[in-house]
């Protein structure tokens, strides 16, 4: 396979997954928009976590909400838990890396806030610990996963919403996670601005 053919195959695979996942995920994404909008409208906040590429997605989502997505609107309370290197390294050193998000959820989370937990595999131990901490503190969870959802998906309960990309490949899952994040941000804006 030539390099050009290989690149074209990436585009085709990504487009095919997005088309196939739309019917499965549109309803749950809409439910997540409603949950997140209700929390933000009630002056609550979103805590967002993930590792690696999912950490970047966490920061991306928080930036779109604190700043703006595509339209002007008041600032929205969203914190990416992957950004405070002093807190992360202190917790990792003293308690273990598994606790880097959970400790922050316990410190910052209040009932009515929402945790957005992102794990491509659904197996990230620190994201799973954050989900458990969120439940302890009375936070609902919106989980973005793939590969069937793993332990993160299995830990969800009650009002939690699971946005599980129906794929096994990390690159495809992460591409769809970014699209889901953009759908969430657009939906929040549309709901708050009355569109």
pLDDT at 195: 77
Q: What is the pLDDT of residues 114-139, one digit of tens each?
A: 999 999 999 999 999 999 999 999 99
Question: What value does the mean pLDDT take over residues 14-25?
Answer: 96
Token pair listed for 125 = 């131990």
Domains identified in the chain and CATH numbers: 3-193 (3.40.50.10490)
From residue 155, alpha-carbon distances to 79, 97, 102, 147, 184 in Å are 22, 19, 14, 15, 22
Whole-model pTM: value is 0.97
Question: What value does the mean pLDDT take over residues 77-102?
Answer: 98
Query: What distance in Å separates the CA atoms of residue 173 and residue 164, rounded to the nearest whole number?
Result: 9
pLDDT at 170: 97
124 CB neighbour count, 10 Å cutoff? 25
């Amino acid at each position: 396979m030539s390099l050009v053919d290989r690149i074209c195959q990436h585009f085709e695979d990504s487009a095919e997954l997005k088309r196939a996942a739309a019917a499965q995920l549109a309803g749950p994404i809409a439910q997540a928009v409603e949950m997140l909008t209700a929390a933000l409208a009630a002056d609550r906040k979103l805590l967002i976590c993930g590792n690696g590429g999912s950490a970047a997605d966490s920061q991306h989502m928080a930036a779109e909400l604190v700043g703006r997505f595509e339209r002007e609107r008041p600032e929205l309370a969203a914190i990416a838990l992957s950004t405070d290197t002093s807190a992360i390294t202190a917790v990792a050193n003293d308690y273990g890396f598994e606790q880097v998000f959970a400790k922050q959820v316990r410190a910052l989370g209040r009932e009515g806030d929402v945790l957005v937990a992102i794990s491509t595999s659904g197996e990230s131990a620190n994201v799973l610990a954050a989900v458990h901490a969120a439940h302890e503190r009375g936070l609902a969870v919106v989980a973005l996963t793939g590969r069937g959802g793993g332990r993160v998906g299995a830990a969800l309960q009650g009002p939690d919403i699971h946005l599980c990309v129906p794929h096994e490949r990390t690159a495809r899952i992460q591409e769809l996670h970014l699209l889901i994040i953009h759908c969430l941000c657009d939906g929040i804006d549309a709901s708050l601005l009355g569109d």
